[in-house]
Structure 1
Amino acid sequence: MCRYAMYGPYKDIYACFDCRKSYKQRSTVELSEQDAKNRKYLCPQCRKPMANMGHDFKAPKHSDLKQWKKVKILYQEGITYYSCGCGGPGYRPKTLREVKEFLDNRFEPNEGKRILKRIRKILLQERADFL
């Protein structure tokens, strides 16, 4: 059974990329529909809107600028840390260096698509050589 489904609403974790801090906030499940729509979570320090990172987000150390940059890039690409609580949110790159490859390959889960991509690249190269 999924942990988050069993034990009621868990708090969402919001991050402020400017201050490099994270805060747990009331889940939108706990709020009325009207309050959930209108609620904006602002950073207590800088008062800018924070990013909803999900239940499973663990913030990097405040001083780790590369990890905060990695998390911000992933968030901007729509990747957060939500799951049902069973197995976690899935694979996320551990370092900033791995982010580009992760983003390039995230929509190609099987070998067939990778092969087609390679073939397309070869055909485009041959076409360029011909012209």
Structure 2
Amino acid sequence: MSNQPLSNLVPYTCFGCRSTYKRPFEKGVFYRKCPTCGGAALCMDIRFRPPKKLDDKQWKKVKYLVDHGFNFQKVYHKEGPIWHRERYPQNLEQAKEFVIKFKDQAYDFNII
């Protein structure tokens, strides 16, 4: 990974061992083998910040969002004629509402 510009690195998250690591972006590569446990790690948006390993509530929220097509990509809502970027939810209850409200902006990671 030497000589790789930092701007080309994206986070990959493994939900099996709750590890996040950065690797060079490769178009069409959405899963990589986790270097910690060997499980599947999903490519997350560059804005993703993982919770602490022992924060079960936040990991459940993140997993719920990812399972429903949100890897912390930009999500927008419209107020009148203007589009605004939506903030990601703080807890699982809010995440359930978020998924319903923005389902049209979700990714299908199985097709990508």
RMSD: 2.6
TM-score, normalised via structure 2 length = 0.68
Structure 1 or 2: more helix by fraction: 1
Q: Specify the code of the residue in structure 1 equivalent to 2:59.
A: W
TM-score, normalised via structure 1 length = 0.59
Q: How does 1:64-103 map to 2 (within 5 A)?
A: 64-83=55-74, 90-103=86-99
From 38, 41, 45, the equivalent of 1:50 is 41
Structure 1: which 4+ aligned runs deviate by more than 4 Å? none
Distance 1:40 1:99, change over 3 A: closer
Unaligned runs of at least 5 residues, structure 1: 1-6, 30-35, 84-88, 109-131
3-state SS in 2 of match to 1:99: helix
In our comparison, the structure showing a higher alpha carbon Rg is 1
% of aligned pairs identical? 32
Q: Specify the code of the residue in structure 1 equivalent to 2:92.
A: L
